[in-house]
Amino acid sequence: MVMKFARIFVLAIAVAAGFIAFRMVMMSGGSRTDAPKTAEAPKEAAKEAEVLVAAKDIGLGMKLSPADFSWASWPESTVPKGALTKTAEPDAQEVYAGRIARAPIFAGEPIRPERLISTDKGFMAAILPKGKRAIAVSVEAETSAGGFILPGDKVDLILTRKSDRGATSETILENVRVLAIDTTTAGEPDQKNLSPKRTATLELTLRQSEVVAQSQQIGTISLALRSAQDSADDADKENSRRRGVSYVKYGVTSQSGVK
């Protein structure tokens, strides 16, 4: 009887100890369960478009081939205005092959039709701005900055005339763009240095062309290379000299003005 009572007593203590432990766990928050997390809805992926871009740097006047183009993925919201997309023109690589770049296009830059020329005219006529003329001037290394003048550079034209009294020089035109050296243009950078006894093609107005043509008959024209910082397009207005070229015909001295 005593043994049975002892067993009941031990069992009661064990139950009491378990209950106390359970209460302590509940009070400490150990049994608190975290609130279930709400599953986040997956973000919608940004829509992309295939845009036609330049596969490499394309120079002014360069004739394009399909290999010069490639398709690149762009977010639809950032596709530049006027860019060619594969959805709109899937055959753009073939359609625009053979056209001429009217301005430099850098690798990875989107292709815009307005920067390409499609013409049956000669190349030089295609890239020449409206109202401008191209005239060729024979030059030698000693009159062309030692051969370092490149297509796309800006130059000043200096006329030198020899007489019994010696030689005189004067600047007849300033800030003139060089379009080509012989048949090499700015779109062909591997062969564009001005070697001795070559021809430089210049971008001029009609009146300037007349002055250069007259000057070649009465003396030697030298090209003076301008610095890149002094060759901005608006420098024409700031630095262009409105001077003429004096020449003698039938004993009468005349002057041709530059405008």
Q: Which carries the bigger pLDDT value, residue 17 or residue 180?
A: 180
Residues 132-148 have pLDDT tens digits of 998 988 876 555 555 67
Pick the CATH number of 48-122 from 3.40.50.10190, 3.30.1950.10, 3.90.1210.10, 3.40.50.970: 3.90.1210.10
Alpha-helical segments (H) within 112-239:
123-127, 206-218, 235-239
Vertex 93: Cα angle to 91 and 97 (nearest 5): 120
Q: What pLDDT shows up at residue 62?
A: 82
Which of the given ranges, 99-113, 187-201, 236-250, has the highest pLDDT on average?
99-113
**Stretch 235-256: mean pLDDT:** 46
Length of the chain: 259
Average predicted confidence (pLDDT) for the chain: 76
Other C-beta atoms closer than 10 Å to the C-beta of 162 total: 11
Residue 191 to residue 180: CA distance in whole angstroms: 11
pTM above 0.75, yes or no: no
pLDDT at site 1: 62
| CA-based torsion, 148, 229, 57, 59: positive or negative | negative
Least confident among 45-49, 68-72, 97-101: 45-49
Place of tokens 């001029």: 204
In tens, the pLDDT along 18-62 reads 777 777 767 765 545 555 566 565 666 678 999 999 999 988 778
Rounded to a whole number of angstroms, the distance between the first and last alpha carbons of the chain is 135
CA 240 to chain centre: 27
Mean pLDDT across the stretch 163-178?
A: 91
Share of the chain above pLDDT 90, in %: 29
Q: Given pLDDT bands bounded at 50, 70 and 90, which one contains residue 251?
A: very low
**Backbone phi and psi for residue 116, each to the nearest 5 degrees, phi listed first:** -120, 145
Q: Which residue's structure tokens are 């977010």?
A: 75
Closest CA to 53 of 64, 67, 74, 69: 69
Burial of 32-60, coded b for 16+ CB within 10 Å and e otherwise, reads eeeeeeeeeeeeeeeeebbbbbbbeebbb
The one-letter amino acid code at 187 reads: G
Is residue 175 within 8 A of residue 154, CB to CB? The reply is yes
Task: Tell which phi-psi region holds residue 11, choosing left (phi > 0), alpha (psi between -120 and 50) or beta.
Answer: alpha
Domain ranges (residues) in the chain: 48-122, 128-256
pLDDT score at 191: 47
Residue 65 has pLDDT above 60, yes or no: yes
